[in-house]
Amino acid sequence: MVEPEKVRCRICGGNVSEFLDLGRQPLSDAFRAPDCTEEEFFYRLAVGRCELCTMVQMTEEVPRERMFHHGYPYRSSGSSVMRQHFTRTALRYIETELMGPDPFFVEIGCNDGVLLRTMAESGVRHLGFEPSGAVAATARGRGARVRSDFFDEPAGIALRDREGPADVVYSANTICHIPYMQSVLRGVDVLLGPSGVFVFEDPYLGDIIDKTAFDQIYDEHFFLFSARSVLAMAERSGFELVDVERLPVHGGEVRYTLARPGMRRRAGSVGRLLAWEDARGLAEPETLAGFAAAVGRVRSELPDLLRSLRDGGKTVVGYGATAKSATVTNHCGIGPDLVSYICDTTPAKQGRLTPGAHIPVRPPAAFAADRPDYALLFAWNHADEIMAKERRFRASGGRWIRYVPEVRVL
């Protein structure tokens, strides 16, 4: 009998032990036209933990060109909360790290230029990497300098030769997307100036587990970072983890700051978060098994609730055709028979069908006009912003359904 080939960690080469299988999944942002007959691409979505460095990661890779292409629909500017977040972030680095005579700021995965716009308006020399063509064009329209390409070691070398060292290399909700992490870190190593910093913010494993936020696991989120695993990754790549900051955006993230050894004093926040993770047993197999069991409960309870409401004559629609929603609908078997449509503010998604589940996507005006009985909140990470905007829904008797951290009706 031939044993299955072991999955190796993309950071250290250790064995990766799988702990959660979310089944066959489509590309999370592959929204289809209703008359499209092209066969959908599916892959097996499962995650495991490295036995050596504790990095949690997908066990199968989706080709990057399938995910990040010209028609990629996500726009960072779609949320007022995120616009404010990125403006504050840009100003923070302008006032701290970019005070020299000719500072240089590089962003990996700049999306529609929501952060780089502030850099451009402040006169800071900058460059963004954004492989999705239409998104990059939007960023250029906002005055940002953008290269329509993926960032890796050759890109870092070429940029250093052409424009000199960077003071800050920054990335938001992108580094966790990149399986070829070693090439990216080598590129950052070449590009970054001696006293520069590499800063990235991504969904935090601690929040994902504590909130049973399994929908944060989808094709684009190859890695689920913790302070412990990022510390190990930094040390293997010739960097030091010098700061961490927990962020409330996107359902819970951490901003990690890496620097060259000996160039920055490590902030006390690093030790505190590492201690919290150790006390929590965050990356221990028992904790991850408990998370998988909690996911199983949601998978059972959510469709049961939706079927009960449907059979009772109630109308249920979805709110927010997020990338995360693909994991939920496909893993839980939720289709248009249980959720008649999903409203979303993104024009590129409207009039199309969600990946795999084929639930129609309609503009927010439909939500106000139809007055459904219940709304399933897929965009739960923007709950405060959405509920403030949709007060009339609650006032007219409408009720929200949430599944993070557990299935409940508000």
Q: Are residues 104 and 180 in the same domain?
A: yes
**pTM, to two decimals:** 0.92
Q: Are residues 146 and 235 in the same domain?
A: yes
Q: Are residues 308 and 198 in the same domain?
A: no
Residue with more model confidence, 249 or 267 = 267
Q: How many domains does the chain have?
A: 2
Query: pLDDT-based confidence at 158, cuts 50/70/90?
Result: very high
Does residue 26 lie within any of the structural domains?
no
Does residue 122 lie within any of the structural domains?
yes
What is the pLDDT of the chain when averaged over all its residues?
A: 93
- Output the 3-class SS for the chain: CCCCCCCECCCCCCEEEEEEEEEEEECCCCCECCCCCCCCCEEEEEEEEECCCCCEEECCCCCHHHHCCCCCCCCHHHCHHHHHHHHHHHHHHHHHCCCCCCCEEEEECCCCCCCHHHHHHCCCEEEEECCCHHHHHHHHHCCCCEECCCCCHHHHHHHHHHHCCEEEEEEECCHHHCCCHHHHHHHHHHHEEEEEEEEEEEEEHHHHHHCCCHHHCCCCCCEEECHHHHHHHHHHCCCEEEEEEEECHHHCEEEEEEECCCCCCCCHHHHHHHHHHHHHCCCCHHHHHHHHHHHHHHHHHHHHHHHHHHHCCCCEEEECCCHHHHHHHHHHCCCCCCCCCEECCCCCCCCCECCCCCCEEECHHHHHHHCCCEEEECCHHHHHHHHHHCHHHHHCCCEEEECCCCCEEC
Give the residue-averaged pLDDT of 26-30.
92
Last residue of a domain, one of 226, 246, 262: 262
CATH number for 121: 3.40.50.150
pLDDT score at 3 = 47
Does residue 59 lie within any of the structural domains?
no
CATH number for 332: 3.40.50.720
Q: Are residues 254 and 309 in the same domain?
A: no
* Domain coverage including residue 161: 76-262
pLDDT in tens, 160-200: 999 999 999 999 999 999 999 999 999 999 999 999 999 99
Does residue 43 lie within any of the structural domains?
no
Last residue of a domain, one of 230, 262, 294: 262
Give the residue-averaged pLDDT of 129-150.
90
